[in-house]
Amino acid sequence: MNNTINIRGGVVDVGKPCVMGILNVTPDSFFEGSRKQTERDIAERANQIIAEGGCMIDVGACSTRPGATPVDEEEELRRLAFALPIIRREQPDAIVSVDTFRPKVARRCVEQWGADIINDVEGSEEMWQMVASLHTPYIYMSSRPSLHDMLIEFADVTQRLHGLGINDIIIDPGFGFGKTLEQNYRLLSEMERLQVLGLPILVGVSRKRMVYQLLGNTPAEALNGTTAIHAIALYKGASILRVHDVKEAVEAVHILQQL
């Protein structure tokens, strides 16, 4: 299992699971508590993520929630041009990931505003070429509904990425993307099998429909269910938890490590 990624020429070990805090600079992300649009709110959220034990900040400027209409590239860039310098000012040493599916946005974020990782929910050839030229770690997400199909996809994609010179790859099984409630939980029950690929695994389930639909509540009430799934995901090999609630996720990591 390769538990390291290269960030700015240094090696970061994710063998001890890492918590990635979500910072959305959008007005329409599905969880209202994650939306930060003013300078003060962005600064406070960036500082909170690190103060509570997070090791990465994932910045999103274009909502990918089900049913959302993506903003155009110009608006996504405008939001990131405002937010990323604030985050870098407040937390210059933090590892910053940008959640985008647009290659030109990825380039601007890395070259102009110092982003460290590209977190991509679509996976186009154009994006792969861009990431190869930027020499940054890359998070590839699968929307395949079954673990069998996902393993085939991940094996194929990682081989192609290696061929382009992209060696720092993190895989994301894409909970909530292209999957029914039953398929999400079946995937969770089998998730340890993804370790055969030898790559860090990112899990993003925080306050998602798979939690609150099962429990009959709302995203605002889904923290307890989210934490339960985080514990299971960690036990099954998750290297990175992408979360809204950093403190609670860090506590789950500490408890699992004690075991």
Residues belonging to the active site: 208, 242
The pair of three-digit structure tokens given for residue 210, joined into one six-digit string: 């798979």
* φ, ψ of residue 168 in degrees (nearest 5): -95, 90
- Measured in whole angstroms, the distance separating CA 117 from the mean position of its chain's CA atoms is 10
Alpha-carbon gap, residue 161 to 53, rounded angstroms: 31
